[in-house]
Structure 1
Amino acid sequence: MSYPALVGALDSDDTFHARQLHWAAPHRTVTDLRTIWTTTFHRDLTATRQALLNHDWALLCPSCHHGRLLGTAFLVPGVGHALRDTGPAIHGNLHWPTADVAKPEWMYLLHEPSEQVLVYEATVHRRWLPHSSHRLDPDQPPPVLGCGGHRRDGHRWQPAQVTLLGPPTPTLASYHAEVCTAPHPRGFAIARFTDDVADQIATHSQNAAPPWGPPLPRLRRDGTEFDLVWTNATVRVARDHDGRLLIGAHLLPWQNASHDGSHPA
Structure 2
Amino acid sequence: MSTPTLIGVAAFRGRYTARLIQFGEDPQVLVPLLRRIWTDTFSRDTGAMAAALLAHDWWSLAVNPKPRRWDQQRPVPGLGHPADNDTIRRGALREDVGGALEWLYLLHLDQRRLVVYEATVHGRWLRHSAHHLDPADELFITEPADDGGGPEMTVCTVCGAVDEIDHVEVPSMAGYGYDTATSCTRCGSSVATDPMFGDHVTRKPWPPHNPTTGDATGSAR
* TM-score interval for Structure 1 and Structure 2 normalised by the shorter chain: 0.5 to 0.7
Q: Which amino acid aligns with 2:135?
A: P
Structure 1 stretches of 4+ moved >2 Å: 69-74, 149-155
- Cα offsets for 1:178-233 (capped at 9, x unmatched): xxxx8xxxxxxxxxxxxxxxxxxxxxxxxxxxxxxxxxxxxxxxxxxxxxxxxxxx
Contact 1:114/1:152, CA 8 A, preserved across alignment: no
Q: Which amino acid aligns with 1:25?
A: E
SS at 2:22 equivalent: strand
Deviation for aligned residue 1:117: 1.1
Q: Which amino acid aligns with 1:43?
A: R
SS at 1:113 equivalent: helix
Measure, in 2, the Cα distance between the counterparts of 1:46 and 1:31: 18
**Structure 1: which 5+ runs fail to align?**
143-148, 156-181, 183-265
**Structure 1 residues 5 and 141: alpha-carbon distance in aligned structure 2, compared to 1, 3 A threshold:** closer
**Structure 1 residues 11 and 63: alpha-carbon distance in aligned structure 2, compared to 1, 3 A threshold:** same
Question: Highest Rg: 1 or 2?
Answer: 1
Deviation for aligned residue 1:151: 11
- Cα offsets for 1:62-96 (capped at 9, x unmatched): 122x2225543430111000013413x10000000
**Structure 1 residues 38 and 93: alpha-carbon distance in aligned structure 2, compared to 1, 3 A threshold:** same
Match of 1:140 in 2: 137
Measure, in 2, the Cα distance between the counterparts of 1:137 and 1:6: 21
Deviates more, 1:129-138 or 1:72-81: 72-81
- Cα offsets for 1:44-78 (capped at 9, x unmatched): 111111000000000000122x2225543430111
**Structure 2: which 5+ runs fail to align?**
140-187, 195-199, 201-221
Contact 2:62/2:78, CA 8 A, preserved across alignment: yes
Measure, in 2, the Cα distance between the counterparts of 1:128 and 1:41: 29
**Structure 1 residues 11 and 32: alpha-carbon distance in aligned structure 2, compared to 1, 3 A threshold:** same
Contact 1:4/1:22, CA 8 A, preserved across alignment: yes
CA RMSD of superposed structures (Å): 2.9
Q: Which amino acid aligns with 1:34?
A: R
Q: Which amino acid aligns with 2:44?
A: R
Q: TM-score, normalised by structure 2?
A: 0.60
> Which of 110, 115, 118 is the equivalent residue of 1:118?
115
Q: Which amino acid aligns with 1:74?
A: R
Match of 1:109 in 2: 106
Q: Which amino acid aligns with 2:20?
A: Q
Measure, in 2, the Cα distance between the counterparts of 1:68 and 1:121: 30
**Structure 1 residues 44 and 59: alpha-carbon distance in aligned structure 2, compared to 1, 3 A threshold:** same
**Structure 1 residues 153 and 63: alpha-carbon distance in aligned structure 2, compared to 1, 3 A threshold:** farther
Q: TM-score, normalised by structure 1?
A: 0.50
